[in-house]
Amino acid sequence: MAKVAGPLIDLVLARVRDPQGSSHPRSLVLGLLSDLQCTLNAAYEDVMATTTFTLTQRQCFYQTSALIPDAIRIKQVKTTGGEYLEKMPLEEMRAAQPQWFRYMAAQPACYGLYGEDGLVVWPAVDTSASVDITYVKIPTVLAVEGDSTEIADEHVETLLQMVELFLLLRVRDKESAAAKMEEVTTRVKAGL
């Protein structure tokens, strides 16, 4: 269940012993919650979305950031007929077909990734076709205190601790920040 930002701000400010927000304005804490939620979602992949994308004839390479601006990374590609495309390492495409970059077929058979942003839907199609792309999404900005988090509840505590870490570093409370860093690192290593 999503958590409302306002009470989370209260909680963080209480933990850093600034319940009135005199050192850390509530708007600053809200901004950290919002932006760190985006960063954590890039790691935890909680918030996903699906979009239909029309392939360009005879083209297999696409730049994700240009096609889907709110995408962090691609997780799944399927044909509009519902067939999932296998994710294939680019080396295997190269091995399968030396002219793979311009190789064409009626339907794509697999997809591959160049880093975070380069999507290869292969082979390229020689007629018009579409695919459904499921991707890790940039969560909606927490603009006001009534907005709610989108990452999974089990990751909200890590989000709060990460915000605490940033606030402790902001006031250069080194001892507390070092302890918090250790705590957050332990949580992250435990997959929390």
Partner 1 sequence: MTRATTLTWVDDLSATQADATLTDDYYDAVVQDVSAIAIFVEASLVAVTSGTSQYTLPSYAREILSVFYDDTELERTSKRELTDYNSVWSLESGSPVAYGIDDESKRTFVVYPVPDISSAAFAFPFGEPFGRDYPRYALSVVHTDVRVDYPKWMDLPIAASVLAQEFRRESNHKDVEVAALWKSTSELLLGMIFT
Q: List residues near partner 1 by CB under 8 A.
A: 28, 31-32, 35-36, 38-43, 56-59, 61, 63, 65, 72, 90, 94, 98-103, 114-118, 124, 138, 165-166, 169-172, 174, 177-178, 181, 184-185, 188
> Which tokens sit at 126?
């020689």
> Least distance from C-beta 75 to partner 1, angstroms?
14
Q: Kindly give, in sequence order, each residue whose CB lies less than 8 Å from that of residue 130, ignoring residues fewer than 6 positions away.
A: 52, 53, 54, 55, 79, 80
| Identity of the residue, 71 or 85, whose beta carbon is nearer to partner 1 in the bound complex | 71
Question: Residue 124 — φ and ψ, nearest 5°?
Answer: -65, 150
Strand order in the sheet with 61-63: 61-63, 118-122, 110-114, 86-87
Q: How far is the CB of 77 from partner 1 (least distance, A)?
A: 16
As measured in angstroms, the least distance from the Cβ of 31 to partner 1 is: 8
Least Å from the CB of residue 111 to partner 1: 14
The whole-angstrom separation of Cα 153 and Cα 147 is 15
SS3 content of the chain, % helix, strand, coil (to 5): 40, 25, 35
Nearer to partner 1, 85 or 163 (CB): 163
Nearer residue to partner 1 within complex by CB, 78 or 170: 170
CB of 100 vs partner 1, minimal distance in Å: 7
Judged by beta carbon, residue 18 or residue 117, the one nearer partner 1 is 117
Q: Which residue bears the tokens 């990452």?
A: 151
